[in-house]
Amino acid sequence: MNEATREIHVATFDDLNPSKLYEILALRVSIFVVEQNCAYQDLDDLDQAAMYYWIDDSDGLASCLRVIDEGAIRRIGRVVTRQDSRSKGLAGKLIDKALGSSVGPWALSAQAHLEKWYGNYGFERSGVDYLEDDILHLPMLRRT
């Protein structure tokens, strides 16, 4: 992957072209619904208010996430990386870019096995584990 393909793109829902929106939704479904075998409502009426961050590579959308501004807090969600693009630091680059866009506090719901990974970005557990779509999750908070 060359440097040009590592560029981070940022757009509001309204600024996404239909093809990019389709790519984002298709990647989320392929990972969260198909790969993780979770039948859940991915389209949750929050997408329209989200800011999107993504990285493309020569095969298309490689990694993306969304940020929802809830007023007093910003929430990172739907962090996803295409299977063949994992372990390249792409999601981390997106997290860093999102965190650099605004002061905290920041919140997210992490799959429990990713607690340490999100901890690398200053997130700390902020509650007890809970089961969501048969996957153990936990709430996390980054104060700044």
- Tens digit of pLDDT for each residue in 17-75? 999 999 999 999 999 889 888 888 788 989 999 999 999 999 999 999 999 999 999 99
Report how many helices (DSSP H) and strands (DSSP E) the chain contains, helices first. 3, 8
State mean pLDDT over 106-128: 96
* Residue 144: pLDDT band with limits 50, 70, 90: confident
Report pLDDT for 104: 85
* Residue 2: pLDDT band with limits 50, 70, 90: very low
Q: Which of 59, 65, 60 is nearest to 78 (CA)?
A: 65
Query: What's the token pair of residue 122?
Result: 């200053």
Do 107 and 73 form a contact (C-beta atoms < 8 A)? yes
Give percent of the chain with pLDDT exceeding 90: 81
Q: Enumerate the β-bridge partners of residue 140.
A: 108, 125
* Residue 92: pLDDT band with limits 50, 70, 90: very high
Do 111 and 137 form a contact (C-beta atoms < 8 A)? yes
48: how many CB neighbours lie within 10 A of its CB? 9
Q: Which of 108, 129, 26 is nearest to 66 (CA)?
A: 108
Do 81 and 63 form a contact (C-beta atoms < 8 A)? yes
Q: How far apart are CA 55 and CA 122, in angstroms?
A: 22
All domains of the chain in start order, with CATH: 3-142 (3.40.630.30)
